[in-house]
Amino acid sequence: MKPKITWVIIGNARKIRVLAHQGPGNGLIAVADQQWHAPKITESKDRAGVGHSSAGPGIAAVQQTNSKLVHDTRFAKEAVSHLSAAYLSRKFDRLIVVAGPHMLGLLRENLDAPLRAVLIGEIPKDLSAQSLTDIETHLGELMAV
């Protein structure tokens, strides 16, 4: 019988990597071809402006967009797209997402129904700079590593 493979997504708004777990006692291993980096944010040089109305007295303003949020959302969608493709290719059976609260929320918003069905847990912490043994310690509450 094939062991259940659990993918653990470790990420933040700049980088996401995938670790695989193939059963109790086997620990975590990095999945070499499953690592994504967010594109560099290019900040707008201009600020939103305020102009006078040509239809009469009054002032109109243009709302400033939050380019960081736009880029973070785009990166989360891209990562979820890669995850969906991997799941459809049967590369994993279960999913755990570990990310800081901001990125976890963006990833959660973009998960499709098949990925939500195999999601077994979330940890709202940015562990992207931690070693595998430290990550395994945090995962102990969700699964036997």
At residue 65, the pLDDT reads 67
Is residue 39's pLDDT more than 90? Answer: no
Is residue 113's pLDDT more than 90? Answer: yes
Task: Give the pair of three-digit tokens for residue 3.
Answer: 């062991």
Helices (H), the chain: 67-88, 101-110, 113-118, 132-139
Q: Which residue has the higher pLDDT, 45 or 68?
A: 68
Q: Which residues of 27-49 are buried (b: 16+ CB within 10 A; e: fewer)?
A: ebeebeebebebeeeeeeeeeee
At residue 27, the pLDDT reads 85
Q: How much is the pTM?
A: 0.81
- Averaged pLDDT of the chain: 86
Q: Which CATH architecture has domain 6-40+65-139?
A: 2-Layer Sandwich (3.30)
At residue 44, the pLDDT reads 60
pLDDT tens profile 46-101? 555 556 656 666 655 556 667 888 899 999 999 999 999 999 999 999 999 999 99
**Residue 38 to residue 68: CA distance in whole angstroms:** 11
